[in-house]
Structure 1
Amino acid sequence: MSRMMNQAAVTMNQIQNKLDVIGNNIANNNTTGYKNRQVEFSSLLSQQINNLNTPENAEGRLTPDGIRVGAGAGLGAIHLNQLQGSLIETDRALDAALTEENTFFQVNRVENGQEETVYTRDGSFFLSPQEGGVLALTTSDGHPVIGQGGPIEIQDGFDAVEFNDQGQLIVTRGDEQAAEAELAIVEAVRPSALEAEGDNFFTVTAEADIEEIMQVYNGEGSVIHAQALEQSNVDLSQAMTDMTAAQRLYQFNSRSISMGDQMLGLVNTIRS
């Protein structure tokens, strides 16, 4: 395979990865709290070819001797766009939308028998019955939501329950109202250290220090918007434009392979 065909083949594989990311963004256009992924490309390693017949004439040259031939383009990084999504009123008591960028709810997830703390922007919560007449605040998949004193649990037998704008769970029992729990909201000091996982969760990269990345949110004013949910921040029109551009790049590289194959076939037919 010629160098040109090899470069095109490598680049096509990486463009396919970009198409997968864009397709995932489009598929999650209506997912609560979803954050858009953006792909960044970089050049792969290049080979230095020394083609100078008279190196002495290269005195004063600022660039390396010879020419450098690249091996195509590769997926450099996938960045999370943490811009705030639009809020939609739901009038549901256990819905809560975060009002600041880079802030997250904490969730306790059990994975392969081990507990770990994950983070989400999805504030659609539910009350799940537990033993002893206790109700636990959970996600839609049943993962416990973490509060200031650990997983949030309240005693059954209340008349109404709702969040206030400080993230406190206000429980009404008869004529009395009290804040029986409070969400433990954290802020990502370095959002670039977050990794997106399935089920709309985020985790901190393995090499990063969690205590340095995720800190207790100490902002003033409203922490959440009660009875509302944050929508995905995917710009559907931009995503479709990016997909079209990526498809065109894929076609151009595919065409390069076809032309390279035709040129090799032409060379093989030449007789001396």
Structure 2
Amino acid sequence: MSRMMIQAAVTMNQLQNKLDLIGHNLANSETTGYKNRNADFSSLLFQQINNMNNPANAEGRLTPDGVRVGSGAKLGSVNIDLSLGAIKETGRALDVALQESNHLFQIQVTENGVTETQYSRDGSFYLSPMENNQVMLTTKDGHPVLGANGPIVFADGFDDITIGDNGLINVSRGGQSELVGELSTVEAVRPRLLEAAGDNNFRLPNLDELGYAFDEIIQNVNPSMKSGALENSNVDISKQMTDMILTQRSYQFNARTISTSDQMMGLINQLR
């Protein structure tokens, strides 16, 4: 296989990954709190071929002599866009929408016996019953929502519940208001370092490998939210469709490169 065909094949494989990413964005365009993923491409290593003994314009030349042959392109990184999406009113007491970009709720997730703190923009919360006539504030998947002092657990049997714009959770019992918890929010100072954890959640990478301290990525902030509302996805469908068309065209051009190279080699093999 020629170098040209190898370059095209490598690039086509990475373009397929971008198409998968675009499809994922489009599929979640109606998912509450979903954040758009952007793909950044980077060039692979190239080989410098010096084939000119007396290059033209040698004096003051800014580019290297000879020919630079690349190896294609790859999907360099997938970045999460934590910008604010549209806010829609729901009127539901346990629905909360964050009103600042890069702000996140904290979720406690236990998988295979390991408990970790994950982060989400989805403020659709529920109450899960517990022992001793208590309830706990959870996500729709049943994961505990973390407050200022850990999971938010309080006694059941209340008449009404409200979540204020400052994150304070109050219940009404017999006409008396009682503070039972406070939502805790954090800010992703370096949102590009967050990893998708599934279920519309994010997690921190291995900090030892990155060389960052925890507070260089995540910092506690005062809650700024809107109760009785949810945040829509920030996916721009028109932009995603445009990116999909451009990516498909790039894929077709690279496929055409392979077929053209194959035809050229066929013609060369027929020479006598």
What TM-score comes out, normalization by structure 1 length? 0.95
The yes-or-no answer on 1:234 pairing with 2:235 is yes
**1:209 — aligned with what?**
213
The separation in 2 between residues aligned to 1:56 and 1:16, in whole angstroms, is 40
**2:160 — aligned with what?**
160
> What SS class does the counterpart of residue 197 from structure 1 fall into?
strand
Alignment of 1:67-78 (within 5 A): 67-78=67-78
Q: Which amino acid aligns with 2:117?
A: T
Pair 1:245–1:62, CA change in 2 (3 A): closer
The separation in 2 between residues aligned to 1:35 and 1:234, in whole angstroms, is 7
Alpha-carbon distance, 1:57 to partner: 8.2
Q: Which amino acid aligns with 1:120?
A: S
Alpha-carbon distance, 1:211 to partner: 2.7
Please list the CA deviations of residues 91-110 of structure 1 after superposition, one character each: whole Å capped at 9, or x if unmatched.
Answer: 11100000111100000000
What TM-score comes out, normalization by structure 2 length? 0.95
Q: Which amino acid aligns with 1:247?
A: Q
The separation in 2 between residues aligned to 1:164 and 1:58, in whole angstroms, is 70
The separation in 2 between residues aligned to 1:194 and 1:35, in whole angstroms, is 12
Q: Percent identity?
A: 58
Alpha-carbon distance, 1:83 to partner: 1.3
The separation in 1 between residues aligned to 2:62 and 2:164, in whole angstroms, is 64
**1:263 — aligned with what?**
264
> What SS class does the counterpart of residue 110 from structure 2 fall into?
strand
**2:181 — aligned with what?**
181
CA contact (8 A) 2:185 2:222 kept: no
Please list the CA deviations of residues 160-200 of structure 1 after superposition, one character each: whole Å capped at 9, or x if unmatched.
Answer: 11101111111111111122100011111221221122100
Please list the CA deviations of residues 109-163 of structure 1 after superposition, one character each: whole Å capped at 9, or x if unmatched.
Answer: 0022111000000000000011111100000010000001110001011001110
Q: Which amino acid aligns with 1:239?
A: Q
Alignment of 1:120-139 (within 5 A): 120-139=120-139
> What SS class does the counterpart of residue 140 from structure 2 fall into?
coil
Pair 1:57–1:95, CA change in 2 (3 A): closer
**Residue correspondences, number:** 268
Structure 1, unaligned runs of 5 or more: none
**1:246 — aligned with what?**
247
The separation in 2 between residues aligned to 1:37 and 1:56, in whole angstroms, is 45
CA contact (8 A) 2:126 2:140 kept: yes
**2:222 — aligned with what?**
218
Structure 2, unaligned runs of 5 or more: none
**1:114 — aligned with what?**
114
The separation in 2 between residues aligned to 1:180 and 1:115, in whole angstroms, is 24
> What SS class does the counterpart of residue 135 from structure 1 fall into?
strand
The CA RMSD over aligned residues, in Å, is: 1.5
The separation in 2 between residues aligned to 1:178 and 1:133, in whole angstroms, is 17
The separation in 1 between residues aligned to 2:216 and 2:262, in whole angstroms, is 53
Q: Which amino acid aligns with 2:3?
A: R
Alpha-carbon distance, 1:76 to partner: 1.5
The yes-or-no answer on 1:149 pairing with 2:153 is no
